Amino acid sequence: MHDWNVVVSLHEGGYPQAWQLLRQWGAVRRTAYFNVLVMQVEDIGAFLETLRQRSTEEPQVLTVLARVMPVTRTFIFQTVEEFETKASDACRCWVPELAGQSFHVRMHRRGFKERLPSQYEESFLDGVLLVALAQTGRPGRITFADPDAIIALETVDCRAGLSLWRREDLQRYPFLRLD
């Protein structure tokens, strides 16, 4: 399993152009999943900004890239229980940032089919965060209509990555496409 901190979904037929475009920012690797690449970039912030600028100057870039999702926390797992423990720990790191805020968790899973149902895990992690936030005295709330933040959770086989995105980030980086 290769290290990655970005998962990229492609529009059909976009593979050659995406490969050429993305390799300027870091190592790009194929996955076993149709139209899904993973990358390792050195500086996520710089990557996001230069990709945003490039897609503004050349809008056709977004006809190749269906979705680009950098992650800031990653882990390896072998079982559902291990996944839930590590994902819960990773999500709890954002409790201070989510205090008093609206949010939800959005999962895009590749692998562990039928053992790791995305909707169940999203609800499970929403619940973990709600409990942790209530314990701070600044409860949060789950909403899907214009939340303050979304936690993105990506899996490719037995590797997972998470990141927190604010409303402003989603507006600034249209290629994130979380919902």
Which range (22-31, 96-105, 112-121, 142-151) has the least confidence? Answer: 112-121
The verdict on pTM exceeding 0.75 is yes
pLDDT at 1: 46
Place of tokens 């993973």: 38
Q: Which residues contact 147 (CB under 8 A, 6 or more apart)?
A: 101, 102, 103, 104, 167
As a whole number of angstroms, the longest Cα–Cα distance in the chain is 51
- Are the C-beta atoms of 37 and 18 separated by less than 8 Å? yes
pLDDT at 76: 97
Residue 18 CB neighbour total at 10 angstroms:
22
pLDDT in tens, 47-74: 999 999 999 999 998 999 999 999 999 9
pLDDT at 106: 98
| CA 160 to chain CA centroid, nearest Å | 9
Q: What is the mean pLDDT of the chain?
A: 95
